Amino acid sequence: MNFSEFDALMMQRALDLAEKGIYSTKPNPAVGCVITQDSKVIGEGWHRQAGQLHAERLALLDAQQRGFFVKGATAYVTLEPCSHTGRTSPCSDALIEAGIGRVVVAMQDPNPLVCGQGIQKLQAANIPVDVGLMQERAESLNLGFIQTMKTQLPFVRLKMATSLDGRTAAANGESQWITGDEARKAVHFMRAKHGALITGIGTVLADDPSLTVRLTDEELASINLTQDNCHPIRVILDPHMSMPLDAKMLSLPGRTIVMTSKASAESQRSQIDAFYAKGIELVAVAAQDDVLDLESVLHYLAQEEKVTDVMVEAGSIVAGAFMRSGFVNELHCFVAPTIMGDKAKPMFTLPGIEAMSDKLPLAFQSCNLVGQDVHLVLTPTTQKG
């Protein structure tokens, strides 16, 4: 399909609108829509929050409020208009009923409830539909949504803060702070983008972390969040139910789920009531030799909690387990210009390799300076998710 320069400009605008919702729409995808008539923008919209109007309906409403008629107009949408009734009615129906004359779609919806059916419905109503304009960027806005729909597992980002020589804590366990203020701020924005934040019980026992999003009201408003809805679910991997009942996070906003083994949940029934009394949600998952099965953890979050994007912030044991698992989609390393020496704690607890052919290969995606620290984004070249 040959798209015009005007088509490209309008889809770029729709993608910019969609990007406004990447923090607030979860677990829904971020979507933008632009409606044009005679080469003029007459309506715009972007999906703000799950359960609220979708981008197409907001764009139609915007055009109506501006006093424009949309019959015969062109709609540019970053994701295929939905064809099923969820919390809102189908957007494909809204476009048809409004008399839209053409629809340009960046990418097909991977949701099995849609997956081409929205496009087919529009075409059945004799509306031309052109698909694939700026598809790569459209996909990049909704990596978690796409992955969850295709694999039933969330997109996993493993974040590490490290010295130049790959150390994450001093020999005595002290880890605050390796990186500077700007990098730590960037991490809080990262947290706000995710539905769940995973750490291990070792980190809880050693650091008593808050695992909250600590941004100002103004900063949250800039990403369409508030202090009430910005915190990801805290997920603690705790095979022996060792979670301290006086942990700091339990008195802070947000939910806390302790993932434990089925054997521990069965043998420590007396502890369960104490957990519930502190507001802890307990989930038993598959485990082997007291090691929780990470696929079971991720599957639960995707299927039961509707989490599409997971961030892992943990010590070397859990970080190493995730890297070995093959479920890490992106590795985010904030590297400080400092050296801590060989007695400090390493990034990963991993078995040493016998030959270079056994190394874990990664591909660089980006490298940016954040304050005095470097933010590296890498992807494992082999992944399960």
**Per-domain boundaries in the chain:** 5-141, 144-380
Q: Which residues are documented as binding site for substrate?
A: 175, 191, 203, 211, 214, 313
Q: How far apart are the first and last CA of the chain?
A: 31
Show which residues are catalytic: 56
Total-model pTM: 0.91
* Longest alpha-carbon distance in the chain: 71
Amino acid 113: pLDDT: 75
Could you say which DSSP state residue 337 is in? Answer: S
Amino acid 385: pLDDT: 55
Kindly report, residue by residue over 38-97, the tens digit of the pLDDT: 999 999 999 998 888 999 999 999 999 999 999 999 999 999 998 766 666 788 999 999
Amino acid 263: pLDDT: 87
Token representation of residue 319: 């970080």
Q: Does domain 5-141 have CATH number 3.40.140.10?
A: yes
Rounded to 5°, the CA angle 266-297-358 comes to 120
Kindly report, residue by residue over 253-300, the tens digit of the pLDDT: 999 999 999 988 888 888 898 999 999 999 999 998 889 999 999 999
Rounded to 5 degrees, φ, ψ at 221 are -60, -30
Contact 56, 94 (CB under 8 A): yes
Fold adopted by 144-380: Dihydrofolate Reductase, subunit A (3.40.430)
Residue partners of 11: CB distance under 8 A and separation at least 6: 3, 34, 76, 78, 104, 106, 133, 134
Catalogue the E-assigned strands of 53-113.
Answer: 74-77, 102-105
Kindly report, residue by residue over 188-220, the tens digit of the pLDDT: 999 999 999 999 999 999 899 999 999 999 999
Mean local confidence (pLDDT), 224-228 = 95
Kindly report, residue by residue over 348-373, the tens digit of the pLDDT: 877 776 777 777 889 999 999 999 99
Token representation of residue 238: 């705790």
Amino acid 349: pLDDT: 79
Q: Is 280 exposed, middle or buried (0-12, 13-18, 19+ CB in 10 A)?
A: buried
Q: Which residues are documented as binding site for NADP(+)?
A: 161, 177, 207, 315-321
Contact 272, 283 (CB under 8 A): no
Q: Which residues are documented as binding site?
A: 54, 82, 91, 161, 175, 177, 191, 203, 207, 211, 214, 313, 315-321
Contact 278, 241 (CB under 8 A): no
Contact 236, 201 (CB under 8 A): yes
